[in-house]
Amino acid sequence: MLYDKKLWTSKENGDKIRLISLDSEEEEGKYIADTIMENVEKGKYGYKDFTVLYRANFQSRAIEQKLLKAKIPYRIFGGIEFFQRKEIKDVLSFLKVFVNPYDEISFIRICKCMKIGIGDKAVEKIESFAKKNNLDFVEVLKYSKSIKGITQKAKDFLWKCNELFEEAKQFDETPGEILEFFYNRSGYSDFLDDDEEWERKDNVNELISSFSTAFREEPDLTYEEYLNEVAMYSSADKTENDDNFVSLMTVHKSKGLEFSYVFVTGVEEGLFPMKTKAYGPISESSDIEEERRLFYVAMTRAMNKLEITGSRNRHGNETNLSTFVKEMDGIDYEMEYKEKDNDFWNMRF
Cα angle 142, 144, 146; round to 5: 110
Tens of pLDDT along 223-238?
999 999 999 887 766 5
Identical fold for domains 17-81+239-337 and 84-232, yes or no, is no
Fold of the CATH domain 17-81+239-337: Rossmann fold (3.40.50)
Domain 84-232 has CATH 3.30.1490.100: no
Percent composition of the chain: helix, strand, coil (DSSP 3-state, to 5): 50, 15, 35
Across residues 270-290, what is the average pLDDT? Answer: 73
Across residues 41-63, what is the average pLDDT? Answer: 97
Enter the DSSP assignment of 253: G
Across residues 55-84, what is the average pLDDT? Answer: 95
pLDDT at 295 over 50: yes
Enter the DSSP assignment of 274: B
pLDDT band at 57 (very low <50, low <70, confident <90, very high): very high
CA 311 → CA 9, 248, 271, 334, 340, distances in Å? 27, 18, 11, 17, 12
- Could you state, in order of their start, the residue ranges of all structural domains in the chain? 17-81+239-337, 84-232
Which of 100-109, 236-245, 285-294: highest mean pLDDT?
Answer: 100-109
Give, rounded to a whole angstrom, the gap between the first and last alpha carbons of the chain: 16
pLDDT at 240 over 60: no
pLDDT at 153 over 50: yes
d(CA 213, CA 39): 29
Tens of pLDDT along 300-327?
999 999 999 999 999 989 999 999 988 8
